[in-house]
Structure 1
Amino acid sequence: MMEFSRRNVLRSAGVAAVGAALAGWASGCSTVPAGGSPQSPAGKLLDTAKSQGFLRVAIANEPPYTQVGTDGTVSGCEPDVLRAVCQRMGIKDIQGVVTPYASMIPGLDANRWDVIAAGLFMKQSRCGQVDYSEPVIVSTESFGTPKGNPKGITSVASITADPSLRIAVLPGGFEEGILKTAKVPDAQQVKVADGRSGIEAIKANRADAFLLPTLSLRALAKDDAGFDVSEALKDAPRTGSGAAFRKSDASFHDAYNKELTAFKQTNDFSDILKKWGFDPSVVQGVTTQELCQTAG
């Protein structure tokens, strides 16, 4: 869930470097102890989180979805919503661990963190492994291209129609799944470590386009005018994300969803989404059940 690692600035070598420096940093500059807290018995996560005063969360570093400040402060649309809902549940804060998207669900299962809030977009395969909260954001996809989009890449169909095109994607990200579902051969996919690496790939002519969430690309473009961002792709599936929990933490998931539903009716929820560039009206009426039907 702008792992530029969905989308999570962020993965592989890039994330490894960021992870080494920032893994364990938490909001408010608190840190996650090595190995994290002990596994709580099934159904006891809420008691454990209240007692220790925080919930451990896997994040990327991909504004506007997630963001890690130079001081280690964790923010972004998803962590900010998670923090606010947790506080309604009596949990004082969250502690963020930067990790590649591909490692988020395995790390959750291994109890390295308690929840994922990183723009990890919903799709069938992920929904079979974790319990998502109701959606916090709904997102669109776009291409980052060289200035002027010289090869006219405006859709997923553009890629399947031209086997010479090379498309940069983040390993384990939702966009890689889009290409796999469209049966784009691996030979056409250029795997990049993070958002900045994807932009450098198209500027250096190692890729013809970079597939990433629209807002992620626009965030990158604020600091780099050397590439164009396409309109939202009409033939890419609509998706979105929310917090993802272990299936064994069903009681916590249910309690979280109850508070999230109430929080989404407040101005504070709208203010968080608007702060990070999201339209709060877009998520109204969209359900996890709907988004979990997305292939991939």
Structure 2
Amino acid sequence: MIELSRRSVLRSAGVAALGASLAGWASGCSSVPSGGPAASPNGNLLDTAKSQGFLRVAIANEPPYTQVNTDGTVSGCEPDVLRAVCQRMGIKDIQGVVTPYASMIPGLNANRWDVIAAGLFMKQPRCGQVDYSEPVIVSTESFATPKGNPKGITSIAAVTSNSGLKIAVLPGGFEEGILKTAKVPDSQQVKVSDGRSGIEAVKANRADAFLLPTLSLRALAKDDAGFEVTAPLKDAPRTGSGAAFRKTDASFHDAYNKELAAFKQTSQFADILNKWGFDPTVVQGVTAQELCQTAG
């Protein structure tokens, strides 16, 4: 679960893609008022989205959760599922807006986008501000450490028991919430702007480890052999995410959940999760109500 720029994985090609995404969004939405989507006659988000042909989605450009392609289109596990479910609802496509995790819920409630599908993991404070769909993914947390993990950091308990350790986290991220819940003081936290910055902090010895979802760290490791990824942390809370909607869009949320449940029974759902490295069986039986009990 654990906001990218909780974990924005911006590689050299990703930076160019980010610019393309923002430019594409601006041109594609030029007719949409800056205060929110073009209003439908009855103010219903489903009617609005069908009429304009797309739903605006906040993402973080953090593979495998979200990804901006070189042509400016949006993919990744969560956007791919969102797009497929929206098409079942009569909405042709989605348009991505890259934004830091800490800005996602405020921007949603200010009508700057219509939905969040970014690996924004469920926890009590967030669930009080937005309505989450049922989970799409369930995730684990790991540390990125220097090669050989010289300080043996393999658990949250190892951090709480050693006040000399410095842990890199993304502001507003689920991981920052994990450390706060564990009462790790701010003096032990190194705030970084994105996934690459977190890795660089570890490699430059400004942080002893970087806390991030396991799959995000493994994605970064594909292009950088200068660090290692620990096994999933056994003492980190179980995390998961789904699409997040404004509480005022309750009818859309209910309709989306209905279509999502049906879509989960298709092979296409499993294909999307497998493509991005997630196990589709892990989410079976996990509910938003359960994940929303996570403190943080």
| Counterpart for residue 31 of structure 1 | 28
Q: Which moved more, 1:66-75 or 1:201-210?
A: 66-75
Describe how 1:182-193 pairs up with structure 2 within 5 A. 182-193=182-193
Question: Given the alignment of the two structures, is residue 70 of structure 1 paired with residue 67 of structure 2, yes or no?
Answer: no
Q: Percent identity?
A: 82
Question: Secondary structure of 2:196's partner?
Answer: helix
Superposed CA deviations along residues 62-104 of structure 1, whole A, max 9, x for unmatched, are 0000000122120000000000000000000001000000000
**Cα distance change of structure 1 residues 164 and 241 upon mapping to structure 2, 3 Å threshold:** same
Tell me how large the CA RMSD over aligned residues is.
2.2
Cα distance in 2 for partners of 1:163, 1:230 equals: 20
Describe how 1:57-206 pairs up with structure 2 within 5 A. 57-206=57-206
TM-score normalized by the length of structure 2 = 0.93
Segments of structure 1 that go 5 or more residues without pairing to the other structure are none
TM-score normalized by the length of structure 1 = 0.93
Cα distance in 1 for partners of 2:293, 2:143 equals: 23
Cα distance in 1 for partners of 2:152, 2:180 equals: 21
Q: Say whether the 8 Å CA contact 2:20–2:71 is kept in structure 1.
A: no
Question: Given the alignment of the two structures, is residue 233 of structure 1 paired with residue 233 of structure 2, yes or no?
Answer: yes
Q: Say whether the 8 Å CA contact 1:6–1:119 is kept in structure 2.
A: no
Q: Say whether the 8 Å CA contact 2:6–2:174 is kept in structure 1.
A: yes
**Cα distance change of structure 1 residues 16 and 111 upon mapping to structure 2, 3 Å threshold:** farther
Cα distance in 2 for partners of 1:16, 1:191 equals: 20
Cα distance in 1 for partners of 2:237, 2:39 equals: 36
Segments of structure 2 that go 5 or more residues without pairing to the other structure are none
**Cα distance change of structure 1 residues 120 and 39 upon mapping to structure 2, 3 Å threshold:** farther
**Cα distance change of structure 1 residues 139 and 188 upon mapping to structure 2, 3 Å threshold:** same
| Counterpart for residue 53 of structure 2 | 53
Q: In the TM superposition, what is the alpha-carbon distance from 1:41 to its structure 2 partner?
A: 7.6
Cα distance in 2 for partners of 1:75, 1:116 equals: 13
Superposed CA deviations along residues 226-250 of structure 1, whole A, max 9, x for unmatched, are 1000000000000100000000000
For residue 22 of structure 1, what is the amino acid of its counterpart? S
Question: Secondary structure of 1:236's partner?
Answer: coil
For residue 21 of structure 2, what is the amino acid of its counterpart? L
Q: Say whether the 8 Å CA contact 1:78–1:118 is kept in structure 2.
A: yes
Superposed CA deviations along residues 143-183 of structure 1, whole A, max 9, x for unmatched, are 00000000000000010100110000011110000000001
Q: In the TM superposition, what is the alpha-carbon distance from 1:37 to its structure 2 partner?
A: 2.5
Describe how 1:204-243 pairs up with structure 2 within 5 A. 204-243=204-243
Question: Secondary structure of 2:72's partner?
Answer: coil
For residue 223 of structure 1, what is the amino acid of its counterpart? D
**Cα distance change of structure 1 residues 249 and 236 upon mapping to structure 2, 3 Å threshold:** same
Question: Secondary structure of 1:283's partner?
Answer: coil
